[in-house]
Homo-oligomer: A and B are copies of this chain.
Amino acid sequence: MNTGPKLSQKNRDIVIEQLRSLLGDRVSTVSSVLEQHGRGESWHPTQPPDVVCFVRSNEEVSQVVRLCAEASMPIIAYGTGTSLEGQLQAINGGVSIDLSQMDQVLEVSTDDLDCRVQAGVTRRQLNQYLRDTGLFFPVDPGADTSIGGMTATRASGTNAVRYGTMRENVLALTVVTASGEIIRTGTRARKSAAGYDLTRLFVGSEGTLGIITEISLRLYGLSESISAAIVSFPDVRSAADATILTIQMGIPVARIELVDQAYMKAINNYSKTDYPELDTLFLEFHGTLAGVTEQAKLFEEISREFGASDFQWAEKEEDRNQLWRARHDAYYAGLAVSPGTRGYVTDVCVPISKLADCIEQTQKDIASTGLFAPIIGHVGDGNFHSTIFIDPDDNEMFETALNIDQRLVKRALDMGGTCTGEHGIGLGKLKHMRNEHGDGAIEVMKLIKQALDPLNIMNPGKTVDC
């Protein structure tokens, strides 16, 4: 691994002084601030940067990048600190550019169903802002992440089966390149055949090619009618098969989430609910009243074929919120039944026809280790997560988790899938990049990285450094 340029402490101090002249008290070297900026929300150990800058404009980001380029100082963009694969760890120190103060919604067009926001705007903030417009932004990875971070990691989540991921929902970007240029990728047109798709190149590049500072997004009209449901199945295969048929029939489900039996037990315990403790689908339908009714009816017919029972429908907003809160609290529910543990989180995505096989084999594998590792998934996309609850001080348990993950990724790749559907590469999945893409495609990625960041200062050691 080439972790980028090595810089002496003296040179680092010079850069920090220059940053202070530029940004005054919006530069911090307080150790708790550094620690906070050197980690995400997963098991990856904290690796703090040398300094954190709180920037407020494209121009400030450009100036910081130019200073860093001059000194070959590494740069890591920071949004809400919710990444899961070590994207934020400053493996060789450097400057963390905290974009959370770039939190303005710059433009909303209700006519064109689009908006432009600064990178630090969070998805809940955006939807709050849109509340009176009748529009919403659908991509929902769970946490209240920044739009910049979601863009940089190509986030998706529960609504992606209907509305797509960040790949489909970003129209254009403002990016500060590794040389400090402020560029704009894309226009407000919905489609274009004008040159290379730089927008899609930066989406998912995890800060290794430039700093995303503004994002233009597609928005959607709120549906006239929304209906949520929770349905129990005799086993994971039945739930997966019902999902496959639903997708094949083109039923435009907005959400279709699998929560396995182990997680359902934990949820009942944590949320004081009394859902059947079986493999379960959580669903949501969006549309006109007639459309939602028809979708729901078709889905119910399909799922009965696969032995589904205990349909519970939620139409009122508060009932739907309660249902989704139970789903979103799954992680905390898992922690509550395994006190003292921390979740080792991993995700893969496979062609939907392989989903039942992949989950079943993974469950068997997990069972053979004796660890508690329930499964939850955005199954309409073929994407699922395993959270392996481990004692953070137990090295042997950690090794077992790593090995489960290793086998899970191999299984997904063998089935024509990807090593991560939505959590990204960061440091955690670097070792799988060559297996997934092959040496030739990795070489192309590296050529792009070298061309756009010749000093290797943009989040060095991540994503393509394999």
Contacts and interface: CB of A to CB of B under 8 A. Distances in A.
Contacts of A349: 189-192
11 contacts: A154-B193, A168-B168, A188-B416, A189-B383, A189-B417, A190-B382, A193-B423, A197-B197, A201-B201, A220-B250, A448-B448
A223 B197 contact: no
Given A111-B352, A197-B167, A198-B441, A383 B290 contact: no
Given A425-B195, A451-B448, A185 B420 contact: no
B201 A441 contact: no
Tell which of A193, A413, A420, A451 has the most Cβ of chain B within 10 Å: A193
Interface stretch (A88-96, A175-183, A314-322, A368-376): A175-183
A11 to B, nearest CB: 27
Given A109-B353, A183-B438, A190-B382, A204 B195 contact: yes
5 tightest A-B contacts by CB?
Answer: A200-B200, A451-B451, A111-B353, A183-B440, A192-B418
A452 B447 contact: yes
Given A153-B193, A194-B429, A197-B200, 7 more contacts: A114-B351, A154-B191, A167-B197, A184-B438, A192-B420, A196-B201, A291-B291
Given A189-B418, A191-B165, A196-B205, A451 B447 contact: yes
A160 B113 CA distance: 17
Contacts of A31: none
A99 B91 CA distance: 46
A288 interface: yes
A299 to B, nearest CB: 13
Contacts of A294: 288, 290-291
A441 B193 contact: no
A407 interface: no
B183 A444 contact: yes
Nearest to A113: B248
A177 B444 contact: yes
A18 interface: no
A350 interface: yes
Contacts of A160: 191
Contacts of A167: 191, 197, 200
Interface residues of A, number: 89
Nearest to A452: B447
B154 A196 contact: no
Given A381-B190, A450-B451, A109 B441 contact: no
Interface in A402-441: 412-413, 416-425, 429, 432-433, 436-438, 440-441
Nearest to A424: B193
A191 B452 contact: no
A156 B195 contact: no
Nearest to A110: B248
B220 A189 contact: no
A193 B114 contact: no
Nearest to A201: B201
Interface string A441-462: 1011101101110000000000
A249 to B, nearest CB: 6
Nearest to A249: B221
Contacts of A165: 191
Contacts of A444: 177, 183, 198, 452
A463 B197 CA distance: 12
